[in-house]
Amino acid sequence: MPGYGANPSHTAMVPDRDSPRTIRLLPQVGAKGLRALLNPALRPFLVLAIALVGLTLVDGGGGRILSSVTAFSTLQYFSTFGLVALGLGLTMVIGEFDLSVSGVFGLGGCVAVLYGNESVWLGIACALGVGIAFGMTQGLIVTRFGIGSVPVTLGGLLTANGLAYVVTKNRTVSFDNIDLALALNETIATLFSVRSLVAIAFFVISIFIFFTTRIGRDLTATGSNRRAALVSGVNVGGIIVVSFAFSSTMSALGGALLSFSLASASPAGLADVLVPAITAAILGGVSLAGGTGNPLGLAAGVVTLSLLRSGLNALAVPPYVNDIASGLILLAVAIADAPYLLRRLTAAAAWLYRS
C-alpha cells in the first residue's frame, strides 16, 4: 500500500534509476538518439550545421564568417563543382561510379570557348552535346557488355583529357566576350551570381523530380538491389544510361560556365573537380555501396564543402588546413557509416552505465 498522499499511478510510471527495467531501457533510448544523429538522411544537414558553428566559433565574433562576402564566395564555390557533384552523386546512388567527370568538365569548357566566340549558345550547345555523347556511350558500354563502371569511366576520363588537348591544339584558348565573362560573376542581390543561380536551379529541378516522380524511387531501387528492381519492373538499363548521360552533361555544363567566366580554357586547367565532387557527394549522404542519397542531401554536402573553403579563406589560414579539415570531416562521416557502429556504441553505453 502506498503511503498517505502518494500517487500510485505516478509512482508506477517513474521507475527507479537503478532498477533493472531502467537499465534495459537506457540502451534503447540511447540507440534512438544515435540513430537520429547517424541517419544518412539527416547527417548532411547536421554536418553543415557543425561546420558553420565551428567556423563561427573560430572566427570569435570577427564577422568574417557570417558575412555577405563569405556567403557569396561559398555560392561561387558551389557553382564551380556543384553540378559535377550532382551528376556524380546520382551515379553513386545507383551503385555506379563516374570517374570521367573531371575530363568531361575540362573538355566541355574547351569546346564551349572554341565555339562560343561565334555564338555563346552554340558553345553551350556543343558542350552539352559532348557531355550527352560521353555519358550515353559509357552507360551503354556498362549495360550492354556488363563491364564495371570504374574501368569504363577511367577510359572515358583519359579519352576526354586527350580530346581536350586535340581540340585546343595543346594551347590555352581565349574567350573574346569579356562583358559576358564579367556578367557571369557579377553579384546579384548581394549573394548570388549567374553561375550560382544556374547551379541552384538545376539542384531545385533535380530535387523536385527526385521526390515527386518515379525516377527517384527507380534510382534508389537500382542502387539498393538491382535484381529486385528488375523484378519490380524498373528499366535498370535505361536508368543507368540516363544517369551517366546526366552526370556527363552536368560536368560539361559546369566546365562551360566556369570557362566562360574565366574568359579562357585550358586542357589542363580544369581538372581539379573530381576529388571535391566525391567529397561533397559523401558528405551529402551518398553511400559508395549505392541505394542511399538524394539531390537535397547532395546540395547540403556541396554547401558544406564550399563553406569550409570560403570560410577558411576568410580566416586567412594556410591552404593545407582546408584539406585537413575536409579530410577529418570525411573520416568522421565514413566512421559513422561503419557496419554495426550503432550496436557497438549502444553496448558500450550500457556497460558504462552498469559499471
pLDDT in tens, the chain (355 residues): 444 344 444 444 444 444 444 444 444 544 554 555 566 678 899 989 999 999 999 988 888 999 999 999 999 999 999 999 999 999 999 999 999 999 999 999 999 999 999 899 999 999 999 999 999 999 999 999 999 999 999 999 999 999 999 999 989 999 999 999 999 999 999 999 999 999 999 999 999 999 999 999 999 999 999 999 999 999 999 999 999 999 999 999 999 999 999 999 988 766 688 888 999 998 898 887 888 889 999 999 999 999 999 999 999 888 788 788 878 887 877 776 665 455 555 666 666 666 5
Helices (H), the chain: 8-13, 20-38, 43-59, 68-93, 101-116, 120-145, 149-168, 178-184, 194-212, 214-224, 226-231, 236-262, 274-283, 295-314, 319-336, 341-354
pLDDT score at 288: 78
- Only one residue has cell 500500500, namely 1
Could you give the C-alpha distances from 309 to 102, 180, 192, 254, in angstroms and in order? 19, 26, 17, 19
Where b means 16+ CB within 10 Å and e means fewer, 238-272 reads: ebbbbbbbbbbbbbbbbbbbbbbbbbbbbbebbee
pLDDT score at 333: 74
Distance of alpha carbon 175 from alpha carbon 119, whole angstroms: 11
pTM: 0.83
Cell of 230: 528488375
- Only one residue has cell 550515353, namely 136
pLDDT score at 62: 86
Instruction: Give the count of beta carbons closer than 10 Å to the beta carbon of residue 18.
Output: 9
- Domains, the chain: 48-55+68-333 (1.10.3470)
| Type and span of the H or E element at 264 | strand 264-265
